[in-house]
Structure 1
Amino acid sequence: MFAAVRGGSEGCGGRGGRGGRGGRGGDGTHGGGWGRGADEAHGACGRTAGPGAEPDRTAARVTAAGAEWLASASSYPRSTLALWSARPTAPVVLPCGSVFDVINVPAVFGRRMLSRLWADGPGSGPVAAHRGRMLMFAAPGTAHRLPALLGWVGDPPTKSGGEWGEAVPPLLCHGTGDAVTVPPLNPPSSAETDSSRWLVAPDVRHPWLPGTEVLLWACVQAGRSSVLVPG
């Protein structure tokens, strides 16, 4: 079962995992606690699988509501939506920090994180594959807090020389002042675009986003699993 890592006073930054009831942030996208029920946890971002399942690895399509959520991160949401309306297969660069942060991890380690999140945790928010890496959309503020917590939390510690610390690769955390390229709303059919696609596509106006504590736990579990099962 999912067990939160104790690394500080941060909540999960999202409507939480299984059991209980959690609050929402002022914008309706995230709040403290683990309070999502199982049905909501696996249905918020186009997730139809039950507990213990993993999201489909094929490219997913973003719904109109999901596109509105993504566009809300832009300084010109209407222009972004107009572009997508004309060219739904066009990738777009969006700023981080206000609507979402993005945790950018190597693809193999990202798959381990997703596996743990879906098997024993609350699931994931939107997730994209881009140029051999995985983009995990997270609650605003996560990009600032996660690296610091990864530097010391855990037993054994993640610091250099720890039992599994070296198995956690450096993460690229995109927050305020950063921008990321998001995949097209609809995956193009050409083979060369396979490097940029949605794995878990946003399909609601306010998708749940994991916060610092959830992703910290997933990093720790993925690091430990890579030590136990090399490669």
Structure 2
Amino acid sequence: MTDTSAGPAAAQIPHQRAEPLLETAVRYADERRWDVVAGSWLETVDGMVFCSCGDEECPAPGAHPTRPDWASLATRSVRAVRAMWQRRPTASILLPTGHTFDALSVPESAGLLALARMKRMGLIPGPVIRTADARTQFFVLPGGGAKTPDLLRRLGWYPPSLDLAFLGEGRYVAAPPSRVGTRGAAQWASPPTLANRWLPDAEEVVPALAYACARDR
């Protein structure tokens, strides 16, 4: 496992802390050393909520990149992060995957079952996001997502039969408290703390996730 915090100075990011998006983005960059980039935002017109991209059929309103080169703009610089959200205070917080961490995504019900199972087994998961689209995203060491299909096969599972996806290079997660249209906000099912500053490898969480996905079918 690897340490993705800033060491002893890294404080716990409280569960659902009520603070401006700017300050939350700064905390992710400064305390966890995660790359951060500002995404789209929500606009309200005549009582209706729309994505800043202008697409009325936007699949992730208010929570997606705003330009093709978005990944190159991701940064851990507190000054740069502050500048992003000073320009657009309501922008969503996007964390690129594939560099500091990968994310394993499963249905929310399966993810919560897996978390409970890990707790009973004495395992400490990394941070876990509960998305506005009823998914859970488990942070693992970078590169863990790509080897997940082989891990599943070795465990006796047929990967396409399980609703278990991975987010790696070129993908991202919308970090709490980013909102997705009227669906609600992303939340922490397992918040970033000093206890989970060491991210697990995929091998440590895939068995519990596979079991929970199979039970959830």
TM-score by length of 2: 0.60
The one-letter amino acid of 1:138's match is V
Q: What CA RMSD, in Å, does the superposition of the two structures yield over aligned residues?
A: 3.7
The alpha-carbon distance between structure 1 residues 202 and 117, as it changes in their structure 2 partners (threshold 3 A), is same
Post-superposition shift, 1:124? 1.2
The alpha-carbon distance between structure 1 residues 124 and 99, as it changes in their structure 2 partners (threshold 3 A), is same
The percentage of aligned residue pairs carrying the same residue is 27
**Other structure's SS at 1:199 match:** strand
**Other structure's SS at 1:110 match:** helix
2:165 to 149, 172, 179: 172
The one-letter amino acid of 2:136's match is M
Post-superposition shift, 1:65? 4.9
CA distance in 2, matches of 1:170, 1:138: 17
Question: Is the Cα–Cα contact under 8 Å of residues 25 and 36 in structure 2 kept in the other structure?
Answer: no
The alpha-carbon distance between structure 1 residues 100 and 205, as it changes in their structure 2 partners (threshold 3 A), is farther
Question: Is the Cα–Cα contact under 8 Å of residues 60 and 201 in structure 1 kept in the other structure?
Answer: no
TM alignment of 1:141-220, pairs within 5 A: 141-150=143-152, 152-154=153-155, 157-159=156-158, 166=161, 169-184=162-177, 192=182, 194-204=184-194, 207-220=197-210
The alpha-carbon distance between structure 1 residues 211 and 84, as it changes in their structure 2 partners (threshold 3 A), is farther
The alpha-carbon distance between structure 1 residues 100 and 136, as it changes in their structure 2 partners (threshold 3 A), is same
Question: Is the Cα–Cα contact under 8 Å of residues 73 and 96 in structure 1 kept in the other structure?
Answer: no
The one-letter amino acid of 1:140's match is P
CA distance in 2, matches of 1:139, 1:176: 12
The alpha-carbon distance between structure 1 residues 82 and 97, as it changes in their structure 2 partners (threshold 3 A), is same
The number of residues matched between the two structures is 166
The alpha-carbon distance between structure 1 residues 66 and 95, as it changes in their structure 2 partners (threshold 3 A), is closer
Question: Is the Cα–Cα contact under 8 Å of residues 85 and 91 in structure 2 kept in the other structure?
Answer: yes
The alpha-carbon distance between structure 1 residues 220 and 179, as it changes in their structure 2 partners (threshold 3 A), is closer
Range that drifts further, 121-130 or 202-211: 202-211
Q: Which has the higher strand share?
A: 2
Post-superposition shift, 1:141? 0.9
Post-superposition shift, 1:132? 1.1
The alpha-carbon distance between structure 1 residues 123 and 205, as it changes in their structure 2 partners (threshold 3 A), is closer
Post-superposition shift, 1:122? 1.4
The alpha-carbon distance between structure 1 residues 45 and 111, as it changes in their structure 2 partners (threshold 3 A), is farther
1:135 pairs with 2:137:
yes
Per-residue deviation, residues 134-162 of structure 1 (Å, max 9, x unmatched): 11111111111112211x223xx2138xx
1:72 to 35, 44, 47: 35
Q: Structure 2 unaligned segments of length 5 or more: list them.
A: 6-10, 19-23, 38-73
> Corresponding residue for 2:42?
none
Post-superposition shift, 1:202? 1.8
The one-letter amino acid of 1:174's match is L
Post-superposition shift, 1:176? 1.5
> Corresponding residue for 1:222?
212
Range that drifts further, 74-83 or 134-143: 74-83
Post-superposition shift, 1:120? 0.7
> Corresponding residue for 1:53?
none
**Other structure's SS at 1:76 match:** coil
CA distance in 2, matches of 1:133, 1:142: 19
TM-score by length of 1: 0.57
CA distance in 2, matches of 1:89, 1:114: 31
